[in-house]
Structure 1
Amino acid sequence: MSEIKHSYVRSNGIELHVAEMGEGFPVVMCHGFPEMWYSWRHQMKALAEAGFRAIAPDQRGYGDSSCPQPIEAYTQRKLVGDIVGMLDALNLGKCVIVGHDWGGMVAWNAAMMAPDSVERVIGVNTPFIPRSPMKPTDAMRAMTAGGFHYILYFQTPGVAEAELERDVERSLRAFYQDPVNIDPAEVRKAPPGVFGQAGGGLLDRFSDRPYGKFLTEQDFQRFVQAFKKSGFRGGLNWYRCIDRNWEESLGQVDRVEQPALMITAELDVVLRPEMAEGMNKWVPNLRKTVLVKGSGHWTQQEKPAEVNAAIIEFLSDMKK
């Protein structure tokens, strides 16, 4: 990984750690929870070799970037502002923006909130989701019917932090699992994000199995050391802003005009492939939806060859 350059930039009132590789049109990659820039290591190399400038920040609250404590510091407006400020600090105009998991929300919102900064947009697992008529946490409570919804569990400051930080290695092993090949019809019986009956914590829902085969021990330890340093509060605060994001998006047009690519994962039990169906209603220039077979949630790490091929094909007419 010695070819990757690391720097720190001031953006939107905080400091962002930025990893870069290659030259050419900038492709900014936004990670999800609980991850960091390193989640994009496979894509950075492939994009650099294809003639692009791959840029992967630790987003606010993660890795070596600033980790503000207030919940309200993690709204989508703040997170999009971080990306725009980073582009300004790097003396860049437009970029292609790619996002996975929560990073996908940043990517779609950046396309709407800062259209002059976004040439194209790519969602990985995270589809474009229009504004709901109901406050998100109210909708989740109605959906759970008394079950355990991990996002609702994350809402109370300090509770999930205490559980996840007690043993960082154990927590990350629980998250970074290979997919379980479950019949999609069985998965659909429970609403997304609902893991069993109410009571207890999140890790009670997962057996303490080894981390997924898509990680080497060295890879796994990179994540472990990062979260031992940063803790989980920053990442959890993203979830605690979902109602604020909903309130702030009132009046915002739910429409992404830029050319777009959607990459879905066959075995992601939370961001299910069918959630991307009908997306072209709000993303009229959606050029293609790619289903990555055999992949769970950590798609760009589990199936890097397939993800790289889809991204580079989508960007092929932008090469030098």
Structure 2
Amino acid sequence: MSLNPAQSVETERGRFAWREGGDPAGTPVVMIHGWPESSWCWAAVSDHLKPGLRVIAPDLRGLGDSERTEGAEHYRKQNLAQDVIAVLDALGIEQFQLVGHDWGGVVAQEMALAVPERVQRMVILNIAIINNLRGNQEVIEKVRGSGGAQYWYQHFMQTKGLPEAMIPGAETEWLGYFLKLANREPFPEEAFNEYVRTFRIPGTPHTSANYYRTFHDDAKRWATLADHVWPMPGLYIYGNQDHVIVPEYLNHIKDCFESITVREVAAGHFLQEEQPEAVAEHLNGFLAP
């Protein structure tokens, strides 16, 4: 199973790129990338998925080959979820299984909040569970005690004008810091070149920074979700060498789902590209064909 080249779809919310793979008549699996990647990040995993699945992988707004939209409000995760739902509506997909990594994992959770009746199963990779207020607070306390140096880039991205001034012309060095230097395994060169290409699309430093500039607005809303329990079966796949998504994020995770399984992979943050076979093995054991 390989992903096809990106194509575009026009929706009532704008123009979005997406990739498809697997069985066109199979069970839809919507796979959502994070920052600073695109739908390309699922290519290696899709090569190892079992038959009977139809992979739908959109590019989120402001990344990949989707539209670059002015205005930070468009990048609140609740709004990004509505973008993906609009893509699925345009493609005629009603019921689906859901996989999300990094910010894409947050968007997946926002989709599961918005249309829970359409989400059959949900898989999250290396990102916080937004209704896990106790576990996330324990992360904050650990970060405060350690100084939180590993989170410097989030402050950089939130600083007005700084990414827009410093990233253009330095896309290879910028992405290389996250995708090459910080990983346990060598990062695939073809994937890296693809992300450099899309980061050179005008406006990307600004639109990608909005993922972080909207975080405080997002967090205020998530603070109201302490009593929420995910009704659909859940799987959390954790790259255990990640220096940003630390183990405390898994504390109390079982209180957030009616049913949740946690699996570890010997990888860093970008586990689906560092260890695609291992990630696909866990997906194959969980996703329904």
TM-score, scaled to structure 1: 0.79
Is 1:305 matched up with 2:277? yes
Q: What amino acid is the match of 2:249?
A: M
Kindly indicate whether the alpha-carbon contact (under 8 Å) linking 2:2 and 2:46 is maintained by their aligned counterparts in 1: no
Q: Which moved more, 1:76-85 or 1:239-248?
A: 239-248
Q: Distance in 2 between matches of 1:297 and 1:237?
A: 20
Unaligned runs of 5+ in 1: 182-211
Q: Residue in 1 aligned with 2:153?
A: 150
Q: What amino acid is the match of 1:290?
A: R
The CA deviation at 1:272 is 1.7
Kindly indicate whether the alpha-carbon contact (under 8 Å) linking 1:125 and 1:273 is maintained by their aligned counterparts in 2: no
Q: Percent identity, aligned pairs only? A: 30
Kindly indicate whether the alpha-carbon contact (under 8 Å) linking 1:178 and 1:296 is maintained by their aligned counterparts in 2: no
Aligned residues: 278
Q: What does 1:100-179 align with in structure 2 at a 5 Å threshold?
A: 100-130=101-131, 132=133, 143=144, 149-177=152-180, 179=182
The CA deviation at 1:36 is 0.6
Q: Which moved more, 1:92-101 or 1:7-16?
A: 7-16
Q: What amino acid is the match of 1:67?
A: R
Question: CA offsets per residue over residues 22-69 of structure 1, 9 Å max, x none?
Answer: 22111111111110111111122333x522001111100012101111
Q: Distance in 1 between matches of 2:252 and 2:224?
A: 22
Q: Distance in 2 between matches of 1:180 and 1:13?
A: 35
Q: Distance in 2 between matches of 1:146 and 1:314?
A: 38
Q: From the superposition, tell whether residues 77 and 21 of structure 1 become closer, same or farther in structure 2 (CA, over 3 Å).
A: same
Q: Which moved more, 1:144-153 or 1:250-259?
A: 144-153
Is 1:93 matched up with 2:94? yes
Q: Residue in 1 aligned with 2:191?
A: 219
Q: From the superposition, tell whether residues 131 and 305 of structure 1 become closer, same or farther in structure 2 (CA, over 3 Å).
A: closer
Q: Residue in 2 aligned with 1:256?
A: 230
Question: CA offsets per residue over residues 152-193 of structure 1, 9 Å max, x none?
Answer: 332123212322223111111111125567xxxxxxxxxxxx
Q: Residue in 2 aligned with 1:291?
A: 264
Q: What amino acid is the match of 2:240?
A: E
Q: Which moved more, 1:85-94 or 1:106-115?
A: 106-115
The CA deviation at 1:150 is 2.8
Q: Residue in 2 aligned with 1:207?
A: none
Q: What amino acid is the match of 1:122?
A: V
Q: Distance in 1 between matches of 2:262 and 2:37?
A: 24
Q: Which moved more, 1:302-311 or 1:244-253?
A: 244-253
Q: Distance in 1 between matches of 2:216 and 2:101?
A: 20
Q: What does 1:188-207 align with in structure 2 at a 5 Å threshold?
A: none
The CA deviation at 1:131 is 6.6
Q: Residue in 1 aligned with 2:8?
A: 8
Unaligned runs of 5+ in 2: none
Q: Distance in 2 between matches of 1:250 and 1:179?
A: 30
Q: Residue in 2 aligned with 1:40?
A: 42
Q: Distance in 1 between matches of 2:196 and 2:5?
A: 21
The CA deviation at 1:11 is 3.2
RMSD of aligned residue pairs (Cα, Å)? 2.5
Question: CA offsets per residue over residues 83-138 of structure 1, 9 Å max, x none?
Answer: 111111110111111111111111122112221221111011114132759xx9xx
Q: Distance in 2 between matches of 1:151 and 1:265?
A: 20
Kindly indicate whether the alpha-carbon contact (under 8 Å) linking 2:62 and 2:68 is maintained by their aligned counterparts in 1: yes
The CA deviation at 1:146 is 7.3
Q: Distance in 1 between matches of 2:76 and 2:6?
A: 26
Computing the radius of gyration from Cα coordinates, the structure with the larger value is 1
Q: What amino acid is the match of 1:106?
A: V
Q: Distance in 1 between matches of 2:27 and 2:235?
A: 17
Q: From the superposition, tell whether residues 132 and 242 of structure 1 become closer, same or farther in structure 2 (CA, over 3 Å).
A: farther
Kindly indicate whether the alpha-carbon contact (under 8 Å) linking 1:261 and 1:289 is maintained by their aligned counterparts in 2: yes
Q: From the superposition, tell whether residues 3 and 170 of structure 1 become closer, same or farther in structure 2 (CA, over 3 Å).
A: closer
Q: Distance in 1 between matches of 2:12 and 2:216?
A: 22
Q: Residue in 1 aligned with 2:217?
A: 244
Q: What amino acid is the match of 1:129?
A: I
